[in-house]
Amino acid sequence: MNGEARLNEFVDAIEVWKSCKQLPPIQENENINKLLGLKSEGIRKLTSEDKASGAYELYIYAEYLQQIKTKEKIILDWAESSIWYIIADRMSQYGDKYTKWQEKYYSAIKENPLASEIFKIKNHAEARVKTLDGTVDRIQRMAEILNNLSKRR
């Protein structure tokens, strides 16, 4: 079984668990792009009710992004632990006790095709997590601002 198949098996197991626990899936919302693209003039034209509902939609979107980020972090953790599991017994073959662990780590990954494949998955997941870092907080802050504006008279 290759790295991608192992990852898919792992992710499927998580999805089955989520459905068994009846965790509600949050879907993409087309209205979000409109809300995120509003300029200050457009926000001023919104009614209080529109602002409140927009804030709610932004909160839902922040939760959606958090779910995506959490899934990517799970994949990242899985990949890291899988790599260590695969290469742990071979690390001593690469250098002596004075060799840095990073050199041993990358050398062992290079020599193992499965570890190399999982390492690519790890790098992709890490990039996706970094892309989403801070985004959830910014969206929630936008929702708070919109919610506060809806309370003004």
pLDDT at 69: 92
Residue 22, Ramachandran bin (φ over 0: left; ψ between -120 and 50: alpha; else beta): left
H/E/C letters for each residue in 50-118? HHHHHHHHHHHHHHHHHHHHHHHHHHHHHHHHHHHHHHHHHHHHCCCCCCCHHHHHHHHHHHCHHHHHH
Tens digit of each residue's pLDDT, the chain (153 residues)? 777 888 888 888 888 777 776 766 667 778 888 888 889 899 889 999 999 999 999 999 998 889 889 999 999 999 999 999 999 888 878 777 788 888 888 888 999 899 999 999 999 999 989 988 989 999 999 999 999 999 876
| Token pair 């990852």: residue | 7
The predicted model scores a pTM of 0.77
Alpha-carbon dihedral angle through residues 51, 57, 63, 67, given to the nearest 10 degrees:
-150
